[in-house]
Amino acid sequence: MKLESVSQYESVYREWGIRLLLISVSLLVALGLAEVMVRIFFPIWDGRDNVTLDGKPINSWFEPGTVYRQVSNEYDAITTITDKGHRVPGVDGNPDVIFVGDSFTFGFGLSDDQTFASIYCKELHRACVNLGYPGSGTLRQVERLDGFIRKYGWKPKEVKLFFFGMTGSWSSGNDFVDNYDRYMREQSRQDDTSKREPSVGIAERIIGMQVVILEHSTLMRRLKYHWGPRIKSILVADPGEYRMAIALKATKEHLAKLDELSRRVGFEYTIYLVPAVHDILRGTQDKTLAALNAVSPQPVVSTAQVFLDSPERYSYAFDGHLNPKGSKRIAEFLISMDGPNLNKS
């Protein structure tokens, strides 16, 4: 009887093993067929390029006096760099307002007249400068601001710093991540062996592999093109207590340098939080705001409320940056805050 029971169990296990194998093979075949069909009927390009107006690749983002196109599967945006080496708008004399931030402030995927800096300044007739710098963290942004002020002797009335960040997810483009990376690089130069990199979780490994996956799979590119924000809101890389603590410490130090610069030069400044669309979809934008407020020299203004009605409408699904609708929303928000005060004066 015992031998018969063992034999029955082995038979059941073998049967289920075969079923699982068949299911796996079927899924692989189905995915393979879907990949082929998408490549034939719904091809989509992975990535973005900066090219001249006639389509030739360029190497520099900020060559003074140049005009080029930002091109991807979602946009074709005319981009003008002033003679001083920053994106328009620019000024010949002294600026009233200087916009500081990363690629969201620069206007990734947006033509010159679509950036929130351009819309704001045109509407309120203010002399403005856009010092947005793609891929930069807070300290690099403040250093860039200081460099332009020193070089051109600017005395701005106001600086607006836009912080794109989230505390619930650890991924590229997040200013907390950029600030953490800058801090750790500086620590490594000092041979501080007490600082250690935490282990990387499964979700973060998968996110890290997306460049390779998107390079080789048209099906995955198509999925990201249509449901990018939703995918990002589900697949989350946990920052962990250690990294987040370092990121907040670094952010505090970097924002303090902005405060010091404002006192030295004599301008007022405002820090705005631009939350990621997947931060809003997860409902964690208030936690991010609270964390940033805890390390900011002054209260942070969140722009989240202008996206709450339909977060996915305001950013490029594949690229992740603000689309023209999202940029316009931020511009209108800034105008509603500053316009009445300017009219009084």
CATH of residue 115's domain is 3.40.50.1110
pLDDT at 50: 95
CA distance 114 to 122: 11
Q: Both 155 and 217 in a single domain? A: yes
Q: Both 298 and 234 in a single domain? A: yes
CB-based contact 253:73 (threshold 8 Å) = no
pLDDT at 10: 66
CB-based contact 224:46 (threshold 8 Å) = no
Has residue 344 been placed in a domain? no
Q: Both 276 and 156 in a single domain? A: yes
CA distance 174 to 275: 9
Q: Both 70 and 139 in a single domain? A: yes
pLDDT at 211: 67
pLDDT at 217: 84
Q: Both 98 and 30 in a single domain? A: no
pLDDT at 201: 60
Q: Both 142 and 279 in a single domain? A: yes
Query: pTM for the whole thing?
Result: 0.88
Residue given tokens 């946009």 in the structure block = 75
Q: How far is CA 58 from CA 40, 69, 71, 285, 323, in A?
A: 30, 10, 12, 37, 23
Q: Both 211 and 265 in a single domain? A: yes
CB-based contact 295:78 (threshold 8 Å) = no
Q: Both 73 and 163 in a single domain? A: yes
Q: Both 209 and 86 in a single domain? A: yes
At what angle are helices 138-152 and 175-189 packed, to 10 degrees? Answer: 80
Q: Both 220 and 319 in a single domain? A: yes
Side chain identity at residue 69, one-letter code: R
Q: Both 25 and 128 in a single domain? A: no
pLDDT at 318: 87
Has residue 179 been placed in a domain? yes
pLDDT at 193: 46
Q: How far is CA 232 from CA 169, 228, 277, in A?
A: 9, 6, 9
CA distance 339 to 301: 16
**Alpha helix stretches (DSSP H) within the chain:** 2-41, 103-106, 116-124, 138-152, 175-189, 202-208, 210-216, 218-234, 240-265, 277-282, 285-295, 324-344
Has residue 29 been placed in a domain? yes
Q: Both 99 and 236 in a single domain? A: yes
CA distance 54 to 296: 44
Instruction: Show the domain range for 170.
Output: 49-191+202-338
Has residue 197 been placed in a domain? no
Q: What is the pLDDT along the chain (345 residues), one digit of tens a residue?
A: 445 555 666 676 777 888 888 888 888 888 888 878 878 888 877 778 999 999 999 988 999 999 999 999 999 999 999 999 999 999 999 999 999 999 999 999 999 999 999 999 999 999 999 999 999 999 999 999 999 999 999 999 999 999 999 998 888 789 999 999 999 998 887 765 445 566 556 555 655 666 677 778 888 778 777 777 777 777 777 888 999 999 999 999 999 999 999 999 999 999 999 999 989 999 999 999 999 999 999 999 999 999 999 999 999 998 889 999 999 999 999 999 998 877 665
Phi, psi of 100 (to 5 degrees): -125, 140
Q: 269, exposed or middle or buried, with CB in 10 Å at 0-12, 13-18, 19+?
A: buried
Has residue 196 been placed in a domain? no
Total domain count, the chain = 2
